[in-house]
Amino acid sequence: MVQTHKKHIGIRRKSRLLALNVLYLIDVGNLSIETAINFVFDQSHNFAEGIKRFSSFLVIATLQNLDIIDELIKKHLENWTIERLSAIDRNLLRLATSEFICCPETPVSVIINEAIEIAKEYSTKDSGRFVNGLLDKIKLVREDKNFIKRFTQPQRPEDLFC
């Protein structure tokens, strides 16, 4: 997945795109987290360190909790398996689900809108609607105390923004 700059995008979107690239490489390319992060960050040398820090935080939070995130996504899939989803949609759903929990300061609507916009640009023509519908169900995870207890929070750098 290659990022194009058709218009100015915000620092959070850049972080999410970097994180999605890393998750995609790990998922599809079967790369280690270290190899994937190094590869993506080497290609993104113009990005500020804050963008890379937030991206790394999202990747780590997602991967540390991948089993329970996938379990939650599967619970809301109808007539689909997680393996049948496009790799971009699958990893975008994982990323947004993780962000619901690890960044409670970020409004749910912002996380969903960002995921929809990324899906529209980098996935299929129907992905925006699909991602929106699924995340609209998954967003309730913020209210689920049992799920939150199971979620491993990675250490947040002091200057990390959400």
pLDDT at 157: 59
For residues 136-156, average pLDDT: 89
Q: What is the Cα–Cα distance from 88 to 90, expressed in whole angstroms?
A: 5
Q: Exposed (0-12), middle (13-18) or buried (19+): which is 2, by Cβ within 10 Å?
A: exposed
- Is the model more confident about 46 or about 29? 29
pLDDT at 86: 95
- What CATH number is given for 11-150 in this structure? 1.10.940.10
Q: What is the pLDDT of residues 26-35, one digit of tens each?
A: 999 999 999 9
- Confidence band (pLDDT; 50, 70, 90) for 10? confident
pLDDT at 3: 47
- Confidence band (pLDDT; 50, 70, 90) for 74? very high
Nearest to 58 by CA among 83, 25, 9, 91: 91
Q: What is the Cα–Cα distance from 32 to 151, expressed in whole angstroms?
A: 22
pLDDT at 4: 45
For residues 45-54, average pLDDT: 86
For residues 54-66, average pLDDT: 95
pLDDT at 150: 92
23, two tokens: 């998750």
120, two tokens: 């529209």
Q: Where are the domains of the chain?
A: 11-150
For residues 133-145, average pLDDT: 94
- Confidence band (pLDDT; 50, 70, 90) for 161? low
pLDDT at 44: 80
Angle between helices 49-64 and 87-102 (to 10 degrees): 100
Residue-averaged pLDDT of the chain: 89
Q: What is the Cα–Cα distance from 52 to 147, expressed in whole angstroms?
A: 27
